[in-house]
């Protein structure tokens, strides 16, 4: 039987892809955090209270995107002959990252409505 790609070669290729996707996710999060920090400093110097919400929204979007990349790398990691342990770990990681992403997106939407409405949400961002 003709074996186009031995499992070990395929596993090495997928591991390379996983690392690239993890680096992409880390780069997204780092670049968003670095830019958000600069924007935070500008807002702090100008003492513009509504600007802090905009900075949080900006950073939140980068965090959400970075988490998606990280989740994609976890899914890809278990694509080739996963063990039950790996499947369990993926389920736990996916649940945690999905919950983080859900709450982060909810916060982004809430803050976005506050910015559009121009309302002051106080220190905790208000409650729904």
Confidence of residue 118 (pLDDT cuts 50, 70, 90): low
- Of 40, 36, 63, 60, the closest CA to residue 112 belongs to 60
In a domain, 124, yes or no: no
In a domain, 58, yes or no: yes
In a domain, 81, yes or no: yes
Radius of gyration of the CA atoms of the chain, in A: 20
pLDDT in tens, 30-73: 999 999 999 999 999 988 777 888 888 899 889 989 989 998 99
In a domain, 6, yes or no: no
In a domain, 72, yes or no: yes
What is the residue range of 41's domain? 13-117
pLDDT in tens, 3-27: 677 878 888 899 999 999 999 999 9
Q: Please count the structural domains in the chain.
A: 1
How far is the C-alpha of 54 from the C-alpha of 43, rounded, in Å? Answer: 10
Distances (CA, A) of 39 to 27, 51, 55, 67: 18, 9, 6, 22
In a domain, 78, yes or no: yes
Per-residue pLDDT, 77 = 85
Residue with tokens 């993926």: 90
In a domain, 95, yes or no: yes
In a domain, 106, yes or no: yes
How far is the C-alpha of 44 from the C-alpha of 13, rounded, in Å? Answer: 46
pLDDT in tens, 76-111: 888 877 888 888 988 888 888 888 888 888 888 887
Residue 116 above 90 pLDDT? no
Distances (CA, A) of 16 to 10, 12, 13, 76: 10, 6, 5, 11
Q: How does the average pLDDT of the chain come out, rounded?
A: 83
């Amino acid at each position: 039987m003709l074996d186009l790609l031995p499992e070990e070669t395929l596993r090495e290729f997928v591991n390379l892809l996983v690392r690239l996707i993890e680096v992409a996710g880390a780069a997204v999060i780092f670049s968003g955090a670095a830019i958000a920090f600069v924007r935070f400093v500008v807002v702090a110097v100008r003492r513009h209270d509504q600007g802090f919400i905009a900075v949080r929204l900006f950073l939140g979007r980068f965090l959400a995107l970075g988490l998606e990349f990280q989740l994609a790398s976890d899914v890809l990691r278990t694509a080739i002959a996963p063990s039950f342990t790996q499947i369990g770990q993926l389920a736990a990681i996916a649940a945690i990252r999905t919950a983080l992403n859900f709450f982060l997106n909810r916060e982004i939407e809430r803050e976005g409505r506050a910015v559009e409405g121009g309302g002051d949400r106080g220190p905790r961002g208000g409650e729904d």
